[in-house]
Chain A
Amino acid sequence: MGEGREMKEEAPFLRVSGLTKQFGGVRAVDSVSFDLKKGEILGVIGPNGSGKTTLVNLITGFVKPDTGKVFYQGRDITGMMPHRIADLGIARAFQMVKPFYQLPAFKNLIIPLFSPRVKRLTGGKYGDRDAIAIDLLEEVGFERDSFVPFKIASVLPHGYLKRMELALCLALRPELIILDELFSGLSMAEVASMLPIIEKLMSENLTIIMIEHRLRELFRISNRVIVLNYGKKIAEGLPKEVMESDEVKKAYLGSETE
C-alpha cells in the first residue's frame, strides 16, 4: 500500500534523531531515529512497554528528552512546549481517552477550535464553533443529523469516544497526526468502520504516525513500519519485511519461532 509513492529530496517532514529518555534506571526510549516524509503513514509497533508512548511524548513536547533531537519541517522542535508543537500542526491522540464527561460530545471539540492555530488558519473568522464541531464529529463517523453529537460524553460508548479523540486532533487542522492505539478497545466491526475514515485522511495527504497493536489493520494502511523493543528501534521497513525479521519475531514471541 502506497509503495509507489514518490520520494522527494527536500528536508524530511519529520526527523527524529537519537532520541533518548531515561526514567530512573529504565531507558524508556533508547537512541531512536527515523525520518518521515510528508504524506507517509508510519506504523509504530512493539510489545507493551517498548517505549512507543514515551516516544510520542518526546516528539510532542510532553516529555523533554535526555539527548536527541526532533526536527519538524526542518525546524528544531526538541523540547518545545506541547502547545507550541501543537500550534505548528502536530496533533496527537491520547491512548487513554479522557473527555470532559459532563459536556456534550460536540462541546468537547470547542477547545481546539478556540486555539490560536485554528484562528490563524481560518483567517480570524471562527464562524460558529458549535456547527464546526458537529461537522467534525460527523466526519469521524458520528451519525449525520442525529442526536449523537449532543449526547453527554459520559453516556457514549468507547468507540464513539475514540472517534471523538480523533476529531479533537482533526479540529486543529494538523499536518501531522500521531495516533496512540486508536483502535484499542474496539470491536472488529468498529475498527472496520473506522478504517475508511483513516483512508480518507490519507487521501488528504495528512502525515500520520500510528501506534497500534492491531497489526493486520495497521499493515493494510501504513507505508512503513518501525518496531520498538525495550526503547530501541529494532526494525524498520515495509510491513511485510518487518514481520519477517527474526528480531521482531523474537521481540513479540520471546523465543525461536515454531
Chain B
Amino acid sequence: MEYRKERIDRGIKARTEDIYALFSYREMLYLLVPRAIPILVLFAVTLVVGVYWQKVLISTAVFALLALSWDLLTAAGMVSLGQALFFGVGAYLTGILNHYFKLSPLFTIPIATLGGGVVCTLLLLPVLRLRGIYFAMVTLALPLMLVRIIEATKIFGGTEGLSGLSGLPSTRFELYLSIIAVLAVLFFFRRLINTDYGLVLRGIRDNDRSVMRSGINIYWYKAQALFMASAVGAFAGALMTHVYMFVGMPVFEMDYSILPIASAVVGGMGTFAGPMLGAFILVPLSEALRGVGGLRIVIYGLFLVIFTVALPEGIFHYFQRKYHQFERWVKVEK
C-alpha cells in the first residue's frame, strides 16, 4: 500500500476568489486577517519601542525596500547582485542636491528617487539585451567600481563623504515615512505583478522569445521594470541619507546588495511579501547579533546557499501554502 501526499485548496480559498469574497464576513476575514494582522502588529510595535529600536526599524524598512526592488527585478528575469548601486546612486543624488544646491529633503528625496531611477536604468540599458548573467555581473561590478572612483577622484566629498546634511523632523517621522513607503511599494508591486502587465514581465522571465514573437518589445518592458526597481532602491538611499544626515562611500557597500537577496531568498522570492518578511526577520536579527560581528555576513552567505538549495520556496510560500491548502495522504491508485 503506497501513499502520496495530496494538496488541495481549502474550500474557503476557492470561495474567496474574486468578488465572491464579499459574500460573507467569514470569507472577508479569511482574506483580511493575514494582511491586516502584520500591519497592525507593525504599527503597534512602532508605538511602543524606544528610539534605538525605532532606528532599527527604519533600517529594516530600508532593507525591505531594497528587497522588494530586488524581487521585482527577479520577477522580470533580471538577477541583481548590486542593489547597492540603486541605493548609493539615490543616496549620493540626495546628498549632492542637499549639500551643493541647498535643496530641502522635501525636494531632494523625490528628485533623487526619479533621478536615481533614470541614471541606473541608463547605466544598465546596454546589458538588457544579453543573457541574465551579464546583468548579474555588471550590477555586481558597478557599485564596487563607483566606490573606487569616488575614492580616487575625491568628488562628492571623497573618502570623507558629505556630512552635515539636513535631517528629517523626528525619528518617529522617519519611522512612519519608511514604513508607509514599504507598505505602499509592497501593495503596488503585488498588484502590478497580478495584472496583465505583470504577466508580461513574468513572461519575459519564463520565455522571452515567446513574448517577443507576440509582438512585445521585451527590452522596453525590462527597462520599465528596471526603472521602477531602481527608483525604489534610490528612494531607500535618499531616505537613509537624510536619516543619517550623511552620505559617503559606505553606501555602495556589499551589505546593501547582499541583505536584500538574503531577505528575498529566506522570505520567499516572487511574492514581495516574502522579501519584506525576510527583511523584517534578518535585519533585527543581525542587530541582535551585533556581538557576533563578522560572522554576520558568513551567516547571510550560508543562509543564501541553504535556502536556495534546500528551501527555495522560502518562508512566506510555506506559510501561504499551509494557509491556503490542506494536505492529506492518498492511496496511490494502480
* Residue ranges of A at the interface with B (Cβ–Cβ < 8 Å): 60, 62, 81-84, 86-87, 91-92, 94, 98, 100, 103, 107, 110-118, 129, 168, 171-172
- Does the CB pair B215–A94 fall under 8 Å? no
Docked CA distance A196–B310 (Å): 49
**B163 interface contact, C-beta 8 A:** no
Given contacts A62-B209, A100-B207, A111-B211, contact A83 B216 (CB under 8 A): yes
- Does the CB pair B215–A112 fall under 8 Å? yes
Docked CA distance A111–B213 (Å): 10
- Does the CB pair B199–A83 fall under 8 Å? no
A-facing mask of B189-207, CB < 8 A → 1, else 0? 0000000110110110011
* Residue ranges of B at the interface with A (Cβ–Cβ < 8 Å): 196-197, 199-200, 202-203, 206-207, 209-218
Docked CA distance A47–B213 (Å): 26
Given contacts A83-B218, A100-B206, A100-B207, contact A114 B200 (CB under 8 A): yes
CB neighbours (8 Å) of B196 from chain A are 110, 113-114, 129
Closest to B206 in A: A100
Closest to B220 in A: A83
CB neighbours (8 Å) of A111 from chain B are 199-200, 203, 210-211, 214, 216
Q: A62-B213, A81-B212, A115-B215 are in contact. List 17 more A-B contacts (CB 8 A).
A: A82-B213, A83-B212, A83-B214, A86-B215, A87-B215, A91-B213, A100-B206, A103-B199, A110-B196, A111-B211, A111-B216, A114-B196, A114-B200, A115-B214, A116-B215, A168-B214, A171-B214
Given contacts A111-B203, A129-B196, contact A117 B209 (CB under 8 A): no
CB neighbours (8 Å) of A83 from chain B are 212-218
- Does the CB pair B207–A86 fall under 8 Å? no
- Does the CB pair B210–A107 fall under 8 Å? no
- Does the CB pair A118–B215 fall under 8 Å? yes
Question: Which of A98, A113, A117 is B210 in contact with, Cβ under 8 Å?
Answer: A98
Docked CA distance A147–B252 (Å): 52
- Does the CB pair B213–A114 fall under 8 Å? no
- Does the CB pair B214–A112 fall under 8 Å? yes
- Does the CB pair A82–B210 fall under 8 Å? no
CB neighbours (8 Å) of B214 from chain A are 83, 86, 111-112, 114-115, 168, 171-172
CB neighbours (8 Å) of A103 from chain B are 199
CB neighbours (8 Å) of B210 from chain A are 94, 98, 111, 168
Closest to A116 in B: B215
- Does the CB pair A92–B207 fall under 8 Å? no
Docked CA distance A172–B211 (Å): 11
Given contacts A107-B199, A111-B199, A111-B203, contact A60 B213 (CB under 8 A): yes
Most buried by B among A92, A110, A116: A110
Closest to A103 in B: B199
Question: Which of A114, A115, A168 is B199 in contact with, Cβ under 8 Å?
Answer: A114
CB neighbours (8 Å) of A98 from chain B are 207, 210
Distance in Å from the Cβ of A43 to the closest Cβ of chain B?
A: 21
CB neighbours (8 Å) of A81 from chain B are 212, 217
Closest to A98 in B: B207
- Does the CB pair A117–B213 fall under 8 Å? no
Docked CA distance A118–B207 (Å): 20
CB neighbours (8 Å) of B203 from chain A are 100, 111
CB neighbours (8 Å) of A114 from chain B are 196-197, 199-200, 214, 216
Distance in Å from the Cβ of A28 to the closest Cβ of chain B?
A: 18
A-B contacts, 10 of them at CB < 8 A, read: A62-B209, A81-B212, A82-B212, A84-B217, A87-B215, A94-B209, A111-B211, A117-B215, A168-B210, A172-B214
Most buried by A among B203, B212, B214, B218: B214
CB neighbours (8 Å) of A172 from chain B are 214-215
- Does the CB pair A115–B209 fall under 8 Å? no
Docked CA distance A78–B203 (Å): 26
CB neighbours (8 Å) of A171 from chain B are 214
- Does the CB pair B199–A110 fall under 8 Å? yes
CB neighbours (8 Å) of B209 from chain A are 62, 82, 94
Distance in Å from the Cβ of A7 to the closest Cβ of chain B?
A: 30
Docked CA distance A239–B199 (Å): 42
Docked CA distance A116–B216 (Å): 7
User: A-B pairs with the 6 shortest C-beta distances?
Assistant: A115-B215, A112-B214, A86-B215, A82-B212, A117-B215, A87-B215
- Does the CB pair A92–B213 fall under 8 Å? yes
Docked CA distance A100–B200 (Å): 11
Closest to B207 in A: A98
Docked CA distance A117–B212 (Å): 12
Docked CA distance A113–B216 (Å): 10
Docked CA distance A118–B196 (Å): 14
CB neighbours (8 Å) of B200 from chain A are 111, 114
Docked CA distance A38–B202 (Å): 35
Distance in Å from the Cβ of A168 to the closest Cβ of chain B?
A: 7
CB neighbours (8 Å) of A115 from chain B are 214-216
CB neighbours (8 Å) of A94 from chain B are 209-210, 213
Closest to A113 in B: B196
Docked CA distance A77–B38 (Å): 54
Distance in Å from the Cβ of A150 to the closest Cβ of chain B?
A: 12
- Does the CB pair A86–B212 fall under 8 Å? yes
CB neighbours (8 Å) of B202 from chain A are 100
